[in-house]
Amino acid sequence: MKTKHTDFILHNVRIMTPGRSDVLGFVHVENGKFREVGEGDVYHSSPSLVVIDGQGHKIAPGFIDMHVHGADGADVMDGTVSSLESIASFHARHGTTGFLPTTLTASLSQLRASMQAARDLQHMSYQGASVLGVHLEGPFIERSKKGAQNPDYIQNPAVDAVATLLDGQMDLVKKITIAPDVPNAVDAIAWLTSHGVIASLGHSDATYACAHQAILAGASHGTHLFNAMRGIHHRDGGLAGACLLHDEVLCELIADGHHVAPEMMQLAFRLKGKDRLALITDAIAATGKPDGEYQLGGLKVSVHGEISLLEDGKTLAGSTLTMDRAVKNMVEQVGVNLSDALYMASATPANALGFGDCKGQIEQGFDADFVVLDEQLRIVATYVDGREIYRQR
């Protein structure tokens, strides 16, 4: 995000970050980064420096969402900068400071338009979460586990097809969801890994053995754990079991209490821990909108409350979740402590995407991407690159 920075001190805040959990302190932000992070309320100021009283609120690293399809009526698949800007602005109001616009299975021209829009927005000044790259969810998926994806555009991941899709986009695309049980998948996973793109296993009916081979080939993420994948059975652990038991695999988790039951979220947390479980929203265009009928990748979706379904009335179609609610759900429904829940929404995805040296923590030298939270974990303010882009009114 290209913009002018403001230097300031935010004091009288309770800092929530590894090593400083709920400690009263202050942060000095300069040129979009944390110049100083200190405990207590003694800080060095100057007449030209803005000083802000945090009123005892908590501050935490900004949330990073690796799986976002839309919000506020806008869809990543619209392929426009204006839609992406709307999505970035909406999710920033819920604490997201960085995200991966996530595509669906679609034509090559549609996918390229969505990728170009993401690239264009990266170089613009706007009021919203930063675009950290793109997540391609498809088209290399298994038909029986397609979920809310258009079957007309599903492809087998021959290396040539993957290379064509990524032509000129290697620096932008951070991860691709791929089913390990379709032809050519293992070769494609090895190719993606060798080119620095994360291969994320999902939308798949893979057995444990099949998933194991894909992980050996370099697959390192699991897309929305338990959803649109073969689950755990006592005779075959399936893809879900493989993702849980391989320590090297990071799992996405839609923590809305509907996609995954609270007890299964607890199981995932116990097996993966905070370092290998990343909270995501899988939010669609209907997020933030009233109940009704919407579109998702050309498919009709019906939204009632927190649940979005395809026309069949049973297939979940993304979510209307936001990252602040995901954090709160992990605390209230699963019993995870707040520090760990915040970590899974910030440091874990930052590390997974290669930003662990500059994002995901409130530490000296890190990007000043952070949120201000009240005691009910409501977002009071969101800062991106040291700029206040949202404040509760």
Residues with catalytic roles: 282
- Contact between 96 and 129 under an 8 Å Cβ cutoff? The reply is yes
- Contact between 317 and 308 under an 8 Å Cβ cutoff? The reply is yes
Alpha carbon distance 55, 129 (integer Å): 24
Is beta strand 63-68 parallel, antiparallel or unpaired with respect to 307-310? unpaired
Contacts of 139 (CB under 8 A, 6+ apart): 105, 106, 111, 149, 153, 154, 155, 165
